Each structure stands twice: as C-alpha cells, then as structure tokens.
Chains A and B, each alone.
Chain A
Amino acid sequence: GENVEQHPSTLSVQEGDSAVIKCTYSDSASNYFPWYKQELGKGPQLIIDIRSNVGEKKDQRIAVTLNKTAKHFSLHITETQPEDSAVYFCAATSSSGYSTLTFGKGTMLLVSP
C-alpha cells in the first residue's frame, strides 16, 4: 500500500522566516496531495491541496510543489506568524481509486515572536 514519509518532525522558526515541510510517497498512481493544519484539540483543517496534473499551487503565504518523478511534495509557508504554530500533516490518496488518505506522521511547527 501507499507509504508517506514526512520531514522534519519538528521545526522551529522565527516570526517572518519561511518554513518548508517535505513529504515523499511510494505509490506512483497517487493523484491527490492535501495538506492539513491541526491545532491542539481540533480536527485537521485543509490548508492547501494539489493534484497530480499540477506542479505548483499558491494561496497567499502558502504554496505547495509536486515532483511526480521523484515522488515528493513540499509545503512552503512564507512570512510565518505565531498563529501558524500547529502540527501540519501531508497526505496522499491510495491507488485504490477511492478517496482514502494515507498521512505522514506530522510536523510540529513552532513560530517564535
């Protein structure tokens, strides 16, 4: 089945710096790659997603890039703010054809003022 590796597990940055989180996946048939932000005590919130026919997508301070050949995708957050502090999860769809997601282990991002 699908396997998703996520790095780093923790990331500390100063406010205003950029943060990059990287994920690799194993199933070349995967075609949908969402990113979720999870704050303490809450459910995962979708922040951005990308489909396999697109190489990059941006939404204000957040961007995601996808390299299908290397089977990796990355989340880029620019001009980080303290409220960006949370756990971020990458995910990929399985080859089953269903919308089942396989998640990475998560990255705890801490933005210090």
Chain B
Amino acid sequence: KAGVTQTPRYLIKTRGQQVTLSCSPISGHRSVSWYQQTPGQGLQFLFEYFSETQRNKGNFPGRFSGRQFSNSRSEMNVSTLELGDSALYLCASSLAVDSGNTIYFGEGSWLTVV
C-alpha cells in the first residue's frame, strides 16, 4: 500500500511569494497533519485536519494555512514568504484524529526561500 505522498519534493521561492504544498495520505487515513522541520527549532506542529475541518493548530502566524478535501488529500499554503520559512515541510497521516493513532510521515517538501 502506498505511503504518504508529498509534492513537490523540492522548490525554491523568493521572499514575498506564496507557496502551496500538497499531501496525499495513506489510503483509508482520514487525519492529516503538517509539521515544519528546521535545524534550529526541530519538528514543530503546524495544524491537523480531519473530515475537512481543522481540528488543532500550532503556534504559527496566520500566513500559514491549510485545507483538506473530501478525499482526505490536503494542501498547505504559506503566503508572503520570509527567509525563515525555509524548512522541510512534512505531512503525516493517521486513521483518525484522536490520540493514540499510529502516525506515518511522508518524505517532505524542501522549501528554500531566497
């Protein structure tokens, strides 16, 4: 069975631009979460979606947003990019949203802001 799929894998953007990242969860998984990974801050939670509704949100500015579609696929968007947004953005999926569900990660999208 296919794992969590993220596109694009690598991208370079200029400050002030916006970016959209896409995630397809494991088949049958309905919960999708997004994390940002940087050398300085480590892995930090961005937000989680279940049944097209945002269920939980991390401590990130409003420039970071996301959505989930009826087929459980998810996108996240970062507007007005800053240099500090350069990071590996990871998508994770699980069967449901409640605590204790096994969570699987994708390979990530490497974003470089110049």
- A interface residues, Cβ below 8 angstroms from B: 31-32, 34, 36, 42-46, 49, 51, 89, 91, 93-94, 96-106
Q: How far is the CB of A93 from chain B (nearest CB, A)?
A: 4
Residue in A42, A51, A99 whose CB lies within 8 Å of B94: A99
**Given contacts A43-B108, A106-B42, is CB(A98)–CB(B97) below 8 Å?**
yes
A-side contacts of B90, CB under 8 Å: 43-44
B-side contacts of A98, CB under 8 Å: 48, 55-56, 97-99
A-side contacts of B97, CB under 8 Å: 98-99
The answer to whether A96 touches B103 (Cβ under 8 A) is no
The answer to whether A32 touches B99 (Cβ under 8 A) is yes
Docked CA distance A42–B90 (Å): 10
The answer to whether A31 touches B99 (Cβ under 8 A) is yes
Main secondary structure, interface of B, reads: strand
Q: Which residue of B lies closest to A46 (CB)?
A: B104
The answer to whether B105 touches A44 (Cβ under 8 A) is yes
Q: How far is the CB of B52 from chain A (nearest CB, A)?
A: 16
The answer to whether B103 touches A34 (Cβ under 8 A) is yes
CB-CB nearest 10 A-B residue pairs: A103-B43, A93-B99, A43-B107, A43-B105, A32-B100, A98-B56, A44-B105, A43-B108, A99-B101, A100-B45
**Given contacts A31-B99, A93-B99, is CB(A99)–CB(B33) below 8 Å?**
yes
Q: Which residue of B lies closest to A92 (CB)?
A: B99
Residue in A34, A43, A100, A101 whose CB lies within 8 Å of B106: A43
A-side contacts of B45, CB under 8 Å: 100-102
B-side contacts of A99, CB under 8 Å: 31, 33, 48, 94, 96-101, 103
The answer to whether B42 touches A97 (Cβ under 8 A) is no
The answer to whether A31 touches B100 (Cβ under 8 A) is yes
**Given contacts A31-B99, A43-B107, A43-B108, is CB(A100)–CB(B48) below 8 Å?**
yes
What would 12 more interface pairs be, CB under 8 Å, given A46-B102, A98-B97, A103-B42? A31-B99, A42-B107, A43-B88, A43-B106, A45-B105, A93-B99, A98-B48, A98-B55, A99-B97, A100-B58, A104-B42, A105-B42
